[in-house]
Every structure is written in structure tokens, then in C-alpha cells.
Amino acid sequence: MERLSGTSILPDTFEGTRDDIVSQMGLIWGQIKAPLIVPLLQLAVVLCLIMSLMLFIERVYMGIVIVLVKLFGQKPEKRYKWEPIRDDVELGNLAYPMVLVQIPMYNEREVYQLSIGAACGLSWPSDRIIVQVLDDSTDPTIKDLVELECQRWASKGINIKYEIRDNRNGYKAGALKEGMKRSYVKDCDYVAIFDADFQPEPDFLWRTIPFLVHNSELGLVQARWKFVNSDECLMTRMQEMSLDYHFTVEQEVGSSTYAFFGFNGTAGVWRIAALNEAGGWKDRTTVEDMDLAVRASLKGWKFVYLSNLKVKNELPSTLKAYRYQQHRWSCGPANLFRKMVMEIIKNKKVTTWKKVHVIYSFFFVRKIVAHIITFIFYCIVLPATVIVPEVQVPKWGAVYIPSIITLLNAVGTPRSLHLIVFWILFENVMSLHRTKATIIGLLETSRVNEWVVTEKLGDALKGKASKTPKKPRFKIGERLHLLELGVGVYLFFCGCYDVLFGKNHFFIYLFVQAIAFFIMGFGYVGTFVPNS
């Protein structure tokens, strides 16, 4: 009976099969490792080190410039002529330029009252300002609410126009373009643009318009964003760190050196003549604001950034909304670079140095290299060297350069310096989607023109908090993100391999980064609104 026992035969069979498979895989790995894997990984390491140096030099350069600007640079009011617009007895209110204020909207249930109220509250002669609400909402209830809000302000004497379209062609760019076609816009000299969650202070126009009135070469005045919900959750704190660097360093450096930077799409004032000369709004990419800024710059127009003028707005606090936003912000610039690189090279109105700045620094390093190197190097190539010890990454490339880049980034948000490790892990995870979106933009494949409006919750959470808590209901696809989970498994495997066989001692980083991918892969980041 012992000889015929299945309990002894079955395990031996499986064990033999398992040993055969493992030995075959080991044999295949040994045959392809030296002639194929090692050279390819070595090439990947070299390319990644080159891109790391490019990003490092760019960050150090901007760091040096911003220090010089803060120590010796003149404020915008000194670099350009600025004086308040004064009353004229003879002209009366005609001494003030006509200003159009545009508010593009799309199903903005939670924030429409705040944005319309803030725009209608701007301090400017009432007969020299037009508030234009561009409502693309598909929800009839929201449309009715927005229209009623506009009527309420109109009854108070505000010159407010409620405009709707029969379609959403061109999304935000299409709405803004359609709004500029209205007959009353011909009387306007400048246009201020605010997204639906932005709340400018009453003196916004008094502080921006004089730059355009007294400096005919200026086409754009851009204000800084101030985040009202940055402390809502850890994810919004991470966003604040990234965006504060953009506003504290990138925008300031561009304004101070080349009088060029990317328009942020909101909280800015355009000279309508500059907007029209650049060709108006185009919907060929998902970054219509950047597209307009580059085209206007190639026409010779200059931009000024006001770091001390802040406009309140809201950060996306749900992972779903943030992922869509980052896809648009990463895919759009890459696609715009593809479409405009030859146009920039052939342009004869700007200097060679400005062309180099736009092509190399503004587009290639910041919008393409920065995303790709973060994911490919630190999440794919560096972990792979644990499994292939024949390939070594120098310590300056694996440790010193990323550490310096990280510290330079922390300058933008000193209050969050203690969260720098969480920021690194968070940015590495998000670089997966930014890299994917960048490649989509460069290759112009599917989803290249995908536009999903970033959901802002406004007071939604406060309202829900006052009600009886409901058990969150969600679809598996909304909370499980397979890409993050897949990369997390890869990093965890590399970490285990390093513990057992490796000599690099990368396993601490690999395990911690794997945990970050798992946390985001299971959707446990940001806020969660039941039934949202």
C-alpha cells in the first residue's frame, strides 16, 4: 500500500516538474543575460545618467538664477513701468480700459457661486468691465443654477453675460474662442481668465492692468496660485510642494530672464491684441494655455509674472481627479512640443538663445526628460541592476544627484520639508502616469486629446460630513490600479532579491517605494467621497 500511495507519488511529480521549469528558466536566463540583458541595461544606465545630468544642470541653473533674482533682481514694478490708473476729469470712466472677465465652466456644481461672486466683486468701474460666464455644462440642473446666479448678479447692476454652446467642441479652448466672438468683446482691451474654482481678490485688476496699459510690449500678466485646501490630506500637501516650486522658481526665472513662461490657463490677464496676433485659442492639444503662450512669445510679446499677487483656488483631493489632471498636464506639453518644434526653430522674430530656452529647457528637459527619468531610472533601471550585478550605477548618479534635485525642489515649500521623503515616493509613483502620458503625447496615439475636467469638491466634504456617514460604495476598477500594483510587485521582488543575493543594499528603498506603489495601487490616497 505504501508503494501505491498517491500522497508520495503526487508531490514528487510536481517537484520534478517544478525543478525542470526552474532549471529551464535559469538556463534561458544564463544564455541571454551576457549577450543581451547586460548590454541593454548598461545602455539604459548611460542614457539615464545623461538625462539625470541634464535635469540636474537645469535645476542648479534655475536655483542660481532665483537666488540672484531674490538678492539683486528688481521687482516687476521696477523692471516695467507701473503706476496706478488715475481718474480723468474730462474722460471720466473712459480713462479706464475696457476689461472682459471670462469664467469657463463645466458642471461646476460645488464652486460656481464662489467664482462668479469673486469675479463680480472685482473692483473696477462698473461700466468698464464685462463678466462673461461660459457654461458648457451638460447637466440641465447645474445650467439652471448657474444661469440663476448670473441673473442674481445682473439684478445688482453687474454687467454679466451668460453664454452657452450647443456642443463642447474644443473643450475649454473652444469655449474661450467662442466667447471671444461675441460682439461686445470688440470694445474690450484686455481679458482676465479665471477657472471655475478661482477666487481673485477685489484689487486684482488694479494690480495687473497697469502693467499692460503702460508697457506696450507686454502681452500677459500672470498671477500666482494660492491653494485653500493644501492641508486637506497628504496628497494635497504633495501637490503643493510640486506646484510651489513651479511658481516660486520656474515661473519667476522665466519672467526675469527671458520674459517668457507657460501661461497657467487661469489667474492671468491677456492683451487681446496679443491674443489675436498669436492666432487666438486653438484646441489641437490639451494645453491650450501653453500653446497660446508659446505662439504669442514667437510673435515677440513679453510676459510678466507677479509672485506677490496670489489667487485662491483648490487642489484636486481625489486620486481619480489628480490622475486625469496629470495625464492632461503631461501629455499636452509633449504633444505641443511635437507640433511646434520646427515652427520654433524657423521663427525669425526671437533670438537664438530664446529658442534654445523654449526648446531645450522649457519643453525637452522640464516637460519630457523630468517625467521619463523619474520613472524609468528610479523605478525600473535602478532596481534591475540588483538582479544584474554586472551593471553598476555610480553613487553620484544613484544618490547624490537625486538628493540635490530633491533639496532644490523643497525650496518652494519650506513648511513641508519634513515631508520630503513622502514627496519623493509620491512623485515616483505619479511619474508612472506622467511618463505614459508623455509617450502618448510624443507618439500622438490614443488618449492624446483626452480631456476630463478636474473635479473640485469645494464644500462637498463639509456638507457630507454633517450628514449621517454612509458606507463607501465603489467599483473595483475605481480603487484598484493595476499599473501601480504591477510596478509594486516588481520593486518588491527586486528588494527580496537584493536581501538574498544582492550587494547594493538598495532593498530599503525598494521596499519603501513598493509600499508606496501598493498604497496608491489600492487607492488609499487622497480623499474619498462616497457615491462621488
* DSSP string for 503-519: SS--HHHHHHHHHHHHH
The answer as to whether 350 is a domain residue is: no
The answer as to whether 367 is a domain residue is: no
Owning domain of residue 268? 76-317
Q: What's the confidence (pLDDT) of residue 495?
A: 95
Question: Each residue of 366-395: pLDDT tens digit?
Answer: 999 999 999 999 999 999 999 999 999 999
Active site residue 136: yes
Q: Are residues 226 and 197 in contact, defined by beta-carbon separation less than 8 angstroms?
A: no
Q: What's the confidence (pLDDT) of residue 9?
A: 45
* Cell numbers for 60: 542648479
Instruction: Kindly state the average pLDDT of the residues 102-113.
Output: 90
Q: What's the confidence (pLDDT) of residue 477?
A: 57
Instruction: Compute the distance between CA of residue 2 and CA of residue 5 in angstroms, rounded to an integer.
Output: 5
The rounded percent of the chain whose pLDDT value lies above 70 is 91
Question: Each residue of 315-369: pLDDT tens digit?
Answer: 998 998 999 999 999 999 999 999 999 999 999 988 999 999 999 999 999 999 9
Q: Please, how many CA atoms are within 13 Å of residue 222, restricted to the half-sphere of its CB?
A: 26
Residue 285 has pLDDT above 80, yes or no: yes
Residue 471 has pLDDT above 70, yes or no: no
Instruction: Compute the distance between CA of residue 433 and CA of residue 30 in angstroms, rounded to an integer.
Output: 33
Instruction: Kindly state the average pLDDT of the residues 430-453.
Output: 90
Q: What's the confidence (pLDDT) of residue 467?
A: 43
The answer as to whether 499 is a domain residue is: no
Q: Which residue do the cell numbers 544584474 mark?
A: 388
* pLDDT band (50, 70, 90) for residue 456: confident
Instruction: Compute the distance between CA of residue 258 and CA of residue 302 in angstroms, rounded to an integer.
Output: 8
* Cell numbers for 40: 541593454
Which of 360-369, 373-382, 402-411, 461-470 is least confident? Answer: 461-470
- The more confidently predicted of residues 464 and 149 is 149
Q: What's the confidence (pLDDT) of residue 475?
A: 57
Q: What's the confidence (pLDDT) of residue 298?
A: 95
Q: What's the confidence (pLDDT) of residue 469?
A: 42
Phi-psi region at 508: left, alpha or beta (left = phi > 0; alpha = psi -120 to 50): alpha
Q: What's the confidence (pLDDT) of residue 409?
A: 87
Taking the model in full, what pTM does it have? 0.89
Look at the chain and report how many structural domains it folds into.
1
Tell me the Cα Rg of the chain. 27
Query: Which residues pair with residue 375 across a beta bridge?
Result: none
**CA diameter of the chain:** 117
The answer as to whether 434 is a domain residue is: no
Kindly state the DSSP code that residue 199 receives in the 8-state scheme: B
The rounded percent of the chain whose pLDDT value lies above 90 is 73
Average pLDDT along the chain? 89
Q: What's the confidence (pLDDT) of residue 16?
A: 57
The answer as to whether 94 is a domain residue is: yes
Query: Which residues pair with residue 133 across a beta bridge?
Result: 103, 162
Q: What's the confidence (pLDDT) of residue 92?
A: 75
The answer as to whether 497 is a domain residue is: no
Find the helix or strand (DSSP H, E) in which 243 lies: helix 234-245
State the catalytic residue, choosing from 195, 197, 283, 289: 289
Residue 66 has pLDDT above 60, yes or no: yes
State the catalytic residue, choosing from 136, 244, 283, 498: 136
Kindly state the DSSP code that residue 110 receives in the 8-state scheme: T
Q: What's the confidence (pLDDT) of residue 45?
A: 97
Q: What's the confidence (pLDDT) of residue 404?
A: 94
Question: Each residue of 420-430: pLDDT tens digit?
Answer: 999 999 999 99
The answer as to whether 6 is a domain residue is: no
Instruction: Kindly state the average pLDDT of the residues 469-497.
Output: 79
The answer as to whether 354 is a domain residue is: no
* pLDDT band (50, 70, 90) for residue 30: confident
Q: What's the confidence (pLDDT) of residue 336?
A: 97
Residue 17 has pLDDT above 70, yes or no: no
Question: Each residue of 219-237: pLDDT tens digit?
Answer: 999 999 999 999 999 999 9
Q: Are residues 296 and 350 in contact, defined by beta-carbon separation less than 8 angstroms?
A: no
Active site residue 498: no
Query: Residue 163 maps to which CATH number?
Result: 3.90.550.10
